[in-house]
Amino acid sequence: MNLRKLIPLLLVPALIGLLYTFQRMDNGSIQTSAAPQDLPRYTAAGATLMRFDADGERQLQGYADRMDYFDDASGRAHGLQLDLLSGGDSPWHLSAPAATLPAHQHRFLVEGPVVADGAWPDSGEKMQLHTDRLWVDPDRHELQTDSALDWNGPTRSGNAVGMRADWSGRRVQLLHNVQMRYAAPPR
């Protein structure tokens, strides 16, 4: 047999085997823990939070079990406790399992269950709000949600969909489907 005819016959099965091997490699999947853009640039554990206004007065202070900051300038807080300050007082205290700080924004979304301790502006009576999501806007000194919320206090409780409130505790506006229940004071 001629050697020139034998070499191509031996190369064909070798080439088929090589192509089969490459095809099997392409079908395999490589598992990664997270995409690089999903990993935080840095993480702070036990973070104390403070924000000051243009006059150097504290606007808010708080604590997060963990803060993650990402390359796009966004952030995520976990285990959040936050006091919104107004004239040295703390009319609102917020607690939630998480908060999202969108990139290039000052406002942030506190995600629930959110518990907000405050007071009714007309009487100063303490109240506690419960909702799933609450926007905190330090520039406007405002709390806002479009979600359902419930509240309770010593003489009134109820629920609504949506709320706007200022940081000073002087204005609480319940937006839609408001149901208020009053308890008569004891004689």
Please provide the average confidence, as pLDDT, over all residues in the chain. Answer: 82
In a domain, 71, yes or no: no
Number of Cβ within 10 Å of residue 87's Cβ equals 8
Comparing 1-5, 69-73, 93-97, which segment has the lowest mean pLDDT?
1-5
Query: Residue 176: what pLDDT?
Result: 94
* Dihedral Cα 105, 128, 83, 71, nearest 10 deg: -30
Q: At 94, which CATH number?
A: 2.60.450
- pLDDT tens figures, 96-144: 999 999 998 889 999 989 999 988 888 888 999 999 999 999 888 899 9
- pLDDT over 70 (residue 17): no
Q: Is residue 137 part of a domain?
A: yes
Give the pLDDT confidence score for residue 66 in this predicted structure: 93
- Rounded CA-CA distance 161/169 in Å is 19
Domain-embedded: residue 76:
no
How many structural domains comprise the chain?
A: 1
Q: Is residue 23 part of a domain?
A: no
In a domain, 105, yes or no: yes
pLDDT above 90 as % of the chain: 37
DSSP string, 44-90: EEEEEEEEE-TTS-EEEEEEEEEEEE-TTS-EEEEEEEEEEEETTEE
pLDDT at position 172: 86
Asked if residue 8 is part of any domain, the answer here is: no
pLDDT at 31: 52
Tokens linked to 71? 């390359």
Tell me the residue range of the domain where 150 lies: 83-182
pLDDT at 150: 95
**Per-residue pLDDT, 85:** 79
What is the rounded average pLDDT of the residues 43-58? 84
Q: Decide if 115 is inside a domain.
A: yes
Mean pLDDT within 7-33: 60
Q: At CA 99, angle to CA 144 and CA 107, rounded to 5?
A: 50
Question: Can you give the pLDDT at residue 18?
Answer: 62
19-29 mean pLDDT: 59
